[in-house]
Structure 1
């Protein structure tokens, strides 16, 4: 009887503790696409040609195939993607075939008819559900550089420009820890290079917000991350008032914001101009372009870092791109915090940085920074 398995816990009254010489057995229902299960993630619904499917390294025909049994088959074969269409299961490596921009509405897969032969002569494409297996989750594993580098690479930005997010992406796509010129205890649980001495040579690059000539010339090269100053200033003000993921209150916007802008807006410009003037070897990355064109930008970054990037790592970064480092955009001040005088000042700084970029033969700032 059921009551034999429902004895009350002595140490935690009100909670069932099973029963003496009894086993409680539960049925775990198969989860629908989009749900997570033990490092298993639904990648999406994709239209694939039979000729393409036929090149995948592992194929299994299972009359009673389930999503989970296909994933387990591919996990056993140490392959990171399970491609599923009942009763056919394929296992393969990451490739551009499975880019997020190739993804279709999952209903096209859920209601799709069952096929009887996977490798027929038909050249018509078919729809397949694709899952990441636990093998892909290993791409989140990172380490220090196996050999200390004699070259120091900065990941330099004005505060609030998305440095923490870009560190997250670089670690995913390279597999190596990033370091920091500072030590932020709130970031250590996620970034193990945070405590490491910044000149140790064990990190793929080093976060810094410094903008003095002496500090800049300590680095052999740098990724200069630039973000729209309106967004950067608001992000940094939120961080100073409420931490990495919090939001300032309306009272703080009204009382502390004007002084903050008068102090920090000039720094936004001087930071970029100084790195453009004193930096030896630079890659300029615009936050907004990284958001829009993630994969091409990551390819540029890894090439600059002289790291060979695998498709598996690239897929890992694309699939986990947000991390837990983006502040929710839902909570904003109830009024426009930028006065006309502030806008006039900030716009003049935008023109200054734009000209500094062009003077070093870089492209100017993105169009959205300022109507031209």
Structure 2
């Protein structure tokens, strides 16, 4: 199986790109199409009319993000050959599209791979059927082949399959998984469509800025909000590198008014924002993250600068930018428009509660889905996102006394501003440096 993200159902494009690879297969399934497209080095796999597979480099080679459809209910030609639930493969005039995120996963599964699929733990299910598995690997593969997003494995060999819901409530803290009566939860490669099928908004006038200093988790937050609301976010930057990895709101300019939540590193008046969400992150972490972005040669949203570069240049870089971190946060909190402040560290510790808070804050009623709790349960299985840089331990001695003095002064000024405007939760103690954690 392949790691793929379900994009949604869209009408066929009137004119497909000439490089689209098309194939018909009587026993078509999403897994077969995704595997075929990946083996041909394409980024997107689209299924049409039960038996057709279309492989493309770009999303809009096959369809148009502006033309969402509800007509993707035709059962796949190969459904009867699968042991899991019925799968759909588009419609007569519509395609179901997947973004291919990774290579094929083959058995036997390594411990390293299993660690990447671990999602936390839950209390041992009391009213759910189980089977016996010889290992967590066998349980994961069994549940995946049955079409379930999650596998649950107990040390006595019991294996449950399911999805995050009222029965299976995830505890993301892996430290608590060693207790008695607790089972480990793993994510299969089966896409959970409850938080898929993300679309553009109908043209409207609402516009909320998602503001932050660079390197503060803005792109990751966009992923969380798209999954929770069911609608794409936009950006003032028109970032082609993000578009290629699944942030399809980058396709449409914000002046088309088809996205409401807009990524920006400012909260000015230039884009007529009605409200704002401000993400604040430890300046040591955010400025190092921004330095990584500026000094990486490729995949800038997920790669890091070398240790040697950090050792030689980070103090000079941060001294030049700490004023920008302070200024951006002071400017964003100087407006009279509705503002929600979210600390990045809180978002990492409890993404679901904080995403719920952000969705409830949004002025646009369309972004308050009636199935929000189902979408959040689905999201709880996959909070990592599409472009999140792996964490790196930053030694305290990396930062000079001069830099720490400048950072502490900036932090104190931002904290005082937040108190003055009545933000209910105190700014975290970022003076502790890069080692700070809740």
Q: Is TM more than 0.5 here?
A: yes
* Structure 2 residue 349 is the aligned partner of structure 1 residue 292: yes
Distance 1:155 1:142, change over 3 A: farther
Shift of 1:250: 2.6
Q: Which residue of 1 aligns with 2:333?
A: 276
Conserved in 1, the CA contact under 8 Å of 2:249 and 2:259?
yes
* Structure 2 residue 291 is the aligned partner of structure 1 residue 237: yes
Shift of 1:367: 3.3
* Structure 2 residue 244 is the aligned partner of structure 1 residue 183: no
Distance 1:152 1:208, change over 3 A: same
**For residues 287 and 110 of structure 2, what CA distance do their matches in structure 1 show?**
41
**For residues 163 and 205 of structure 2, what CA distance do their matches in structure 1 show?**
38
RMSD in angstroms over aligned alpha carbons? 3.9
Write the deviation string for residues 238-292 of structure 1: whole angstroms up to 9, x where unpaired.
111113222155347535751x334321111111111111251111110011111
User: Counterparts in 2 of 1:1-372, with a 5 A limit?
Assistant: 46-48=122-124, 50=126, 53=127, 67=139, 75=147, 94-95=165-166, 97-101=168-172, 105=177, 136-139=191-194, 141-190=196-245, 191-211=247-267, 213-215=268-270, 218-242=272-296, 243-244=300-301, 245-248=303-306, 250-251=308-309, 254-255=312-313, 257-258=315-316, 260-278=317-335, 280-305=337-362, 306-308=367-369, 310-330=372-392, 336-337=398-399, 339-363=400-424, 365-370=426-431
**For residues 221 and 166 of structure 1, what CA distance do their matches in structure 2 show?**
16
Shift of 1:328: 3.0
Shift of 1:95: 2.5
**For residues 45 and 346 of structure 1, what CA distance do their matches in structure 2 show?**
38
Specify the SS of the correspondent of 1:322: coil
**For residues 248 and 209 of structure 1, what CA distance do their matches in structure 2 show?**
25
**For residues 210 and 169 of structure 1, what CA distance do their matches in structure 2 show?**
20
Structure 2 residues not aligned, in runs of 5+: 1-105, 133-137, 434-438
Shift of 1:235: 1.1
Conserved in 2, the CA contact under 8 Å of 1:145 and 1:204?
no
Write the deviation string for residues 218-251 of structure 1: whole angstroms up to 9, x where unpaired.
1001110111111111111111111322215534
Distance 1:267 1:142, change over 3 A: farther
Write the deviation string for residues 154-211 of structure 1: whole angstroms up to 9, x where unpaired.
1100111111111122122222211001122211113111131113332241100124
**For residues 422 and 217 of structure 2, what CA distance do their matches in structure 1 show?**
24
Shift of 1:146: 4.2
Write the deviation string for residues 67-111 of structure 1: whole angstroms up to 9, x where unpaired.
5666655x4xxx755678989977566236321348774897xxx
Specify the SS of the correspondent of 2:244: coil
Conserved in 2, the CA contact under 8 Å of 1:160 and 1:235?
yes
**For residues 173 and 207 of structure 1, what CA distance do their matches in structure 2 show?**
16
Specify the SS of the correspondent of 2:325: helix
Shift of 1:336: 1.2
Distance 1:72 1:204, change over 3 A: farther
Conserved in 1, the CA contact under 8 Å of 2:201 and 2:232?
no
Write the deviation string for residues 106-134 of structure 1: whole angstroms up to 9, x where unpaired.
897xxxxxxxxxxxxxxxxx777766666
The structure in which a higher percent of residues are strand is: 2
TM-score between the two structures when normalised by the length of structure 1:
0.68
Q: After the TM superposition, which of the residue ranges 81-90 and 183-192 deviates more from structure 2?
A: 81-90
Structure 1 residues not aligned, in runs of 5+: 1-27, 109-125
Conserved in 2, the CA contact under 8 Å of 1:48 and 1:127?
yes
Distance 1:270 1:319, change over 3 A: same
**For residues 287 and 173 of structure 1, what CA distance do their matches in structure 2 show?**
18
**For residues 309 and 161 of structure 2, what CA distance do their matches in structure 1 show?**
57
Conserved in 2, the CA contact under 8 Å of 1:250 and 1:333?
no
Q: After the TM superposition, which of the residue ranges 345-354 and 357-366 deviates more from structure 2?
A: 357-366
| Number of equivalences | 309
